[in-house]
Amino acid sequence: EKGNGKGARGLRFTPVAPNTADTVTIPEGYAQNVVISWGEPILRGAPAFDPDKQSAKAQAGQFGYNCDYLGLLPLPEPGRQLLVANHEYTDEILMFKGYDAAKPTREQVETAWAAHGLSVVVVEEDRKNGKLTAVPRHHLNRRVTATTEFKVSGPAAGSDLLKTSADPTGTKVLGTLNNCAGGETPWGTTLHGEENFNQYFANSSRATDKRYGVGTAASERKWELFDKRFDVAKEPNEVHRFGYVVELDPYDPTSTPRKRTALGRFKHEGATVRLTHDGRPVVYTGDDERFDYFYKFVGSKRMAHGHSRRAREHNLTLLDEGTLYVAKLTGDSPAIEIDGTGKLPNDGEFDGSGTWIPLATATAKGAVSHVEGMTAEEVFVFTRLAGDKVGATKMDRPEDIEPNPHTGKVYVALTNNSNRGVGTNAKADEANPRNANKHGHVLELTERWNRPESTSFAWSLFLVAGDPKDPATYFAGFPKDKVSPISCPDNVAFDRYGNLWISTDGAQLGFHDGLFGVATKGDRRGELKQFLTMPKGAETCGPIVQDRRVLVAVQHPGEIDGATVEKPASTWPDGPGTYVRPSVVAVYRKDGRDIGV
């Protein structure tokens, strides 16, 4: 039935064919609009976008660069919602005319600091359809940048490992960097993963930094020449203050955002929450690196209900106390590789069991380590080393991990790992079943008794990505002649019917990245359909599927080797003669009806 609008409820659209068009291609009967782009003024007093007259001051009041995670939160104003976006990193070569990577100017560097971080901007719905437009100068609009003050909270706050010459208390950090994916909490805040923070720091010689990929020489952007905190040789602990999940109260533009050290320090892709039956938060979070781990935090305090100030203040402490766990997965058959011969493990399925290994527990009175040879502070700051010590399972780059609100099952996007099985690296195992894994896969986890706080779980392969004609792919058992090709799953989201939506980054099938929907239950489970495709060089991020619209972040369009402002690979979305601009796009039905029904 591919090719017509049939499918599971919520996925009844004609799939978009894979392509290399320099635009956002959407299904028949749908329309789109750019909600907001890099450089649009959102704060009072910010100037209109003028890429030939950029400044740090202007950028600090404008929408940042390379939007990734998107959240939409309700507002009491009818027809309006609060859009929260991450700005993961900057592409200076596509931002500044004549950019010289060997000699960036102070203004360019400070503009890049201002283009990182987060944006909060009110958006307005069209009454007739799902179109969304930004509301500039709204009093809730906010920019958080690489220089905004953050409070460090949780078990590593005030630790000697976090003290610097500028902050002898170890509790006050300037800025957040490389915010990739994120999530909303049931208490009305947003979580943002600090991912590849290592790239901003220079001149380290420590083994702990090496485990995080911090370089021994100059950094790519040379920020260390403009602020010595980015020079590890001069300010050794600054790098220990990045790599956390940050929490923002987007409803209070004067609030100080927090770095939640109880969730550990690694290359956090994102963070998503499910509550226990007694109201405690469980946060799932992946460490996006080849052969790294995924984690969960189980809070010990219950969420307070209601909107009173007391309830909000209480809920802003929920992520400071609890236990951090890392995942260990065991196959239940002798490990074999999914190799295209159709060979299956001897029980017929790539599946098995897993345990959550406790690493450390944070309480109001202090923290306790569960890892031999490491203090609790060390576990929370050098979390990767703790995972190494307890023998956690080395995964194929854990990106988004998100519980399905309909079923509680947890989906783990493993984007790819070309090094799996290469040389002395770990070989394919039942949970990472493909050597030289170019296209990635998605695992489905079921927590014991379907309780998110359980310390054991069952898992199975949900999807092994690639060209469905490749026998080493798997679409939850659905007939493969009826599904779209997919490669490099990254962000995931759910619609109101419990369908899983998957956005991709770095697709390796010769086509641009895109967004896909797939049923997770019923007789169409595994029927994967492509909903949209990206412009040239772009990764699909931040998908949100509401009844009337799909929202995506078009991240790093035009990011192709050798492209510059003068010689662009793409000029999306504004057309020839303009700067390519990362943007948020809304896709909706022309007839105003709900998505996919």
**What residues make contact with Ca ion under the rule CB under 5 A?**
180, 332-333, 345, 347, 349, 351, 490, 505
Whether 195 and 213 have beta carbons less than 8 Å apart is answered as no
Whether 167 and 173 have beta carbons less than 8 Å apart is answered as yes
Handedness of CA 16, 17, 18, 19 (dihedral sign): negative
Question: Whole-number minimum distance, CB 195 to ligand FEO, in Å?
Answer: 5
345 binds, among ligand FEO, Ca ion, none (CB under 5 to 8 A by kind): Ca ion
195 binds, among ligand FEO, Ca ion, none (CB under 5 to 8 A by kind): ligand FEO
Question: Whole-number minimum distance, CB 78 to Ca ion, in Å?
Answer: 33
- 399 forms part of the interface with ligand FEO (CB under 6 A): yes
Handedness of CA 411, 417, 420, 425 (dihedral sign): negative
CA distance 114 to 465: 37
Nearer to ligand FEO, 270 or 403 (CB): 270
β-bridge mates for residue 326, sequence order:
295, 357
Helix (H/G/I), strand (E/B), else coil: 288: coil
C-alpha count within 13 angstroms, C-beta hemisphere, residue 111: 22
DSSP H helical segments within 465-541, as ranges?
none
The structure tokens 């209900």 sit at: 305
Nearer to ligand FEO, 197 or 497 (CB): 197
Nearer to Ca ion, 170 or 537 (CB): 537
Whether 343 and 334 have beta carbons less than 8 Å apart is answered as no
Angle at the Cα of 130 (from 273 to 486), degrees rounded to 5? Answer: 60
Question: Whole-number minimum distance, CB 349 to Ca ion, in Å?
Answer: 5
User: Which of 41, 58, 85, 88: binder of ligand FEO (CB under 6 A)?
Assistant: 88
Side-by-side strand order, sheet with 489-494 = 489-494, 500-504, 514-518, 528-533
**Window 473-512: contact mask with ligand FEO (x via CB under 6 A):** -----------------x----------------------
Nearer to ligand FEO, 87 or 258 (CB): 87
Question: Whole-number minimum distance, CB 293 to ligand FEO, in Å?
Answer: 14
Angle at the Cα of 152 (from 401 to 252), degrees rounded to 5? Answer: 80
User: Which of 40, 194, 269, 559: binder of ligand FEO (CB under 6 A)?
Assistant: 269
Question: Whole-number minimum distance, CB 13 to Ca ion, in Å?
Answer: 24
Helix (H/G/I), strand (E/B), else coil: 481: helix
Question: Whole-number minimum distance, CB 383 to ligand FEO, in Å?
Answer: 16
Question: Whole-number minimum distance, CB 150 to ligand FEO, in Å?
Answer: 20
Question: Whole-number minimum distance, CB 308 to Ca ion, in Å?
Answer: 36
Q: How many residues bind ligand FEO (CB under 6 A)?
A: 7
Nearer to ligand FEO, 122 or 177 (CB): 177
Question: Whole-number minimum distance, CB 121 to ligand FEO, in Å?
Answer: 21
Q: Which long-range contacts (CB under 8 A, 24 or more apart) does 298-304 make?
A: 298/322, 298/323, 298/325, 298/452, 298/453, 300/363, 302/278, 303/186, 303/187, 303/275, 303/279, 304/187
- The residue with its CB nearest to Ca ion is 505
From residue 512, give the alpha-carbon distance in Å to each of 21, 353, 475, 538: 8, 35, 20, 8
287 binds, among Ca ion, ligand FEO, none (CB under 5 to 8 A by kind): none
Cis peptide before 51 (omega within 30 of 0): no
Whether 157 and 179 have beta carbons less than 8 Å apart is answered as no
How big is the chain, counted in residues?
597
Angle at the Cα of 33 (from 32 to 36), degrees rounded to 5? Answer: 145
Helix (H/G/I), strand (E/B), else coil: 377: helix
- 377 forms part of the interface with ligand FEO (CB under 6 A): no
247 binds, among Ca ion, ligand FEO, none (CB under 5 to 8 A by kind): none
Give the H or E element holding residue 121.
strand 117-125
**Window 126-165: contact mask with ligand FEO (x via CB under 6 A):** ----------------------------------------
Nearer to ligand FEO, 351 or 513 (CB): 513
Question: Whole-number minimum distance, CB 541 to ligand FEO, in Å?
Answer: 8
C-alpha count within 13 angstroms, C-beta hemisphere, residue 518: 29
332 binds, among ligand FEO, Ca ion, none (CB under 5 to 8 A by kind): Ca ion
- 195 forms part of the interface with ligand FEO (CB under 6 A): yes
Whether 435 and 415 have beta carbons less than 8 Å apart is answered as no
Tokens matching residue 509: 């099938």
Nearer to ligand FEO, 490 or 559 (CB): 490
User: Which of 180, 392, 488, 551: binder of ligand FEO (CB under 6 A)?
Assistant: 180
351 binds, among ligand FEO, Ca ion, none (CB under 5 to 8 A by kind): Ca ion
88 binds, among ligand FEO, Ca ion, none (CB under 5 to 8 A by kind): ligand FEO
Site for ligand FEO in 283-312 (CB under 6 A): 288
402 binds, among ligand FEO, Ca ion, none (CB under 5 to 8 A by kind): none
Question: Whole-number minimum distance, CB 178 to ligand FEO, in Å?
Answer: 7
The structure tokens 């781990």 sit at: 293
Whether 84 and 556 have beta carbons less than 8 Å apart is answered as no
Whether 534 and 513 have beta carbons less than 8 Å apart is answered as yes
Question: Whole-number minimum distance, CB 487 to ligand FEO, in Å?
Answer: 15
Nearer to ligand FEO, 148 or 555 (CB): 555
Binding residues for ligand FEO, rule: CB under 6 A, are: 88, 180, 195, 269, 288, 399, 490
